[in-house]
Amino acid sequence: MFADKRDLRKFHVFAVVILAFALGLVWYINRTGAKLADPIKAENLKIVKNSYEGAVLHTSEGEIEIVFLRNLATTTVINFAKLAASNFYAGTKFHRVIPNFMIQGGDPLSKGEDRRLYGTGDPGYFFKDEINGEEFIKGVAAMANRGPDTNGSQFFIVTAPAAPWLAGKHTIFAKVIRGMDVAERISNASRDKNDVPLIPIIIENVVLK
């Protein structure tokens, strides 16, 4: 029994729809699911966790020292430490600054000159949130993200007295213990309509302590 032309057309349309869905699924997995991973190798976890208490961010505006909350955000701290140890952050910028709110940095794409890309970069993977009971008050450092479980390399430091609306949405992993005046000065830098500083504010290096 042979199909008529209408049946063949229906089959072709159905095949095209299935193919488009499959291609879309592959793209989605590559863009999201395949990137969601634990960036921490088990054999390195104990060494990194126990070796560093915090870090000093050497910026073009001065130094900001943070102390890690290792017991509250273990994976996040280790991820930050490993990126810092590999000089991942060297040359990145504080690409987003908002007075009396926060400063954001850690995007590898901010090393370039195309401001349209600032805020879209990551280290090549995402890892899960570690929401804890720390309050979003001045001086806390937390991970920037694109939604649940999309942590990578970008982070921000709160310069507002408090930002309670961020609770439950971002992982706090450190606190500023020195250089809060530097962070506040950065947050007040002249910026464009997208909150990108007009004069680049560079993270020259992050030194673990």
pLDDT at 124: 93
| Nearest in space to 66 (alpha carbons), one of 170, 143, 147 | 143
Tokens of 105: 């940095």
Phi and psi (nearest 5°) for 178? -155, 140
* Residues in the chain, total: 209
User: 100-158: per-residue pLDDT in tens?
Assistant: 999 999 999 999 999 999 999 999 999 999 999 999 999 999 999 999 999 999 999 99
> Which burial class, exposed, middle or buried, applies to 35 when counting CB atoms under 10 A from its CB (0-12, 13-18, 19+)?
middle
pTM for the whole structure: 0.80
**What residues are annotated to the active site?**
96, 101, 104, 145, 156, 166, 170
| CA atoms of 69 and 179, how far apart (whole Å) | 18
pLDDT at 23: 46
| CA atoms of 40 and 28, how far apart (whole Å) | 24
pLDDT at 48: 60
| Nearest in space to 93 (alpha carbons), one of 74, 110, 116 | 110
pLDDT tens, N- to C-terminus, the chain (209 residues): 444 555 555 545 454 444 444 444 444 444 444 366 665 665 555 556 567 899 999 999 999 999 999 999 999 999 999 999 999 999 999 999 999 999 999 999 999 999 999 999 999 999 999 999 999 999 999 999 999 999 999 999 999 999 999 999 999 999 999 999 999 999 999 999 999 999 999 999 999 99
| CA atoms of 140 and 182, how far apart (whole Å) | 14
pLDDT at 42: 53
pLDDT at 44: 53
